[in-house]
Structure 1
Amino acid sequence: MEGKWLPHPGAQLLLLLLSLYMVWASQTTSSPPVSQPCSFYSGKSCEECLRNVSCLWCITNYTCLEYPVHSILPPSSVCAMSSARWGACWINFEALIIAMGVVAGAIVLTITICCCYCCYCKKRMSQVIFLRMDAEEENLIRERERRQQQAAERKNERTVKHNEIRKKYGLLQDTDHPYSKYENE
């Protein structure tokens, strides 16, 4: 594929978006619509050529050409990338592709870093919550055991107290040998 430059699909998308913006920006300016063909402006100025949105200015030979819409970027046979201007005379396609690639890469990298950081924070938060739940569960188990122990102590105290009262009134039977309750009959 000698002489044919195929840009990255992401760069094509960025240039398409830029071209749509340029079309929008050129339509919002107050310049009257131009009905002349692009070749009419060859040899004149870049500003005159680019008033028509469908025109492409080539700085190397001062020609105004019809923008090749079948390809997003003008091929090098039409005009070199560093010399092609479209939409505004100060926009260099080559520098624009590099700048937009860097900006797109920075945006993708930033989004990736943010997603990774959010996933890390979420994972860490779930671990903290899990550890906190384990600690709370252990505290609940200890509290339950403490309450059961206190309940057993209170039950023993009540039993001792009741036995003292029964003994005082003679209701407590001697439990020294198991047949004592049958002797009274």
Structure 2
Amino acid sequence: MSGVHTASAFVFALIFYGVFITTEAQTSTPSPGTIPCALRSNTSCKECLENVTCLWCTPTKQCLDYPVRNILPPSTVCPLNDARWGLCWVNFQILIITMSVVGGVFIIGILVCCFCCCKCERIGNKKEDAKMERQTRARKNRQKAKTTEMQMRHDEIRQKYGIAKENPYARMDDH
């Protein structure tokens, strides 16, 4: 089960890394009307988070530049439970737990679907194998009936012309 958590954490990290690369690209070319995050301290969370590069720390009421070199802000900057980014009502700790659960459910769902598809395919193959076996048996029975019918016809022709054999293993020219 730890593999599922590791995989979901990896997916979560990739998503956030992509977001932060985009954020870092935006910070390298600041627009002329943006106010630096440090000047928004001691205001409100909503004002701080108007700039996507800012991080709000609830207990200290500080608006900080998001540490883009890290995927998650270190606890020295602000504890995960008190850090807000993007929305004031979502903290990182709940976001990580939620993403892990959603990722785990998603991976388990994919594995269940793969298992069911493989199982259905095996059942389908068994049905196809049984059908082929029935067809083969029917073909052999028809062939056997035709062979018997042809043998009877040949025996009738031999009887008609008087070349019937008493011993089926005797040569024809012995008569």
* Band of TM-score, shorter chain: 0.7 to 0.9
Instruction: Look up the match of 1:166.
Output: none
Give the ranges of 4+ consecutive aligned residues of structure 1 lying more than 3 Å apart after TM superposition: 7-10, 18-24
Most deviating of 59-68 and 122-131: 122-131
How far off is 1:13 after superposition?
3.8
Runs of 5+ in structure 2 lacking a partner? 163-173
Overall identity of the aligned pairs, in %: 36
Instruction: Look up the match of 1:182.
Output: none
Runs of 5+ in structure 1 lacking a partner? 1-6, 164-176, 179-185
Q: TM-score, normalised by structure 1?
A: 0.72
How far off is 1:126 after superposition?
1.7
Structure 1 residues 10-39: Cα deviation after superposition (integer angstroms, max 9, x where no partner): 425425525756979xx9xxxx97522111
Q: TM-score, normalised by structure 2?
A: 0.76
Structure 1 residues 145-164: Cα deviation after superposition (integer angstroms, max 9, x where no partner): 1110011112222332344x
Instruction: Look up the match of 1:133.
Output: 132
How far off is 1:115 after superposition?
0.8
Change (3 A) 1:88 1:19: farther
Aligned to 2:12, what secondary structure does the other structure show?
helix
Equivalenced residue count is: 154
Structure 2: distance between partners of 1:81 and 1:89 = 13
Higher RCO by CA contacts (8 Å cutoff, separation 6 or greater): 2
Contact 2:16–2:71 (8 Å) recurs in 1? no
Instruction: Look up the match of 2:121.
Output: 122
Give RMSD over aligned pairs: 2.8
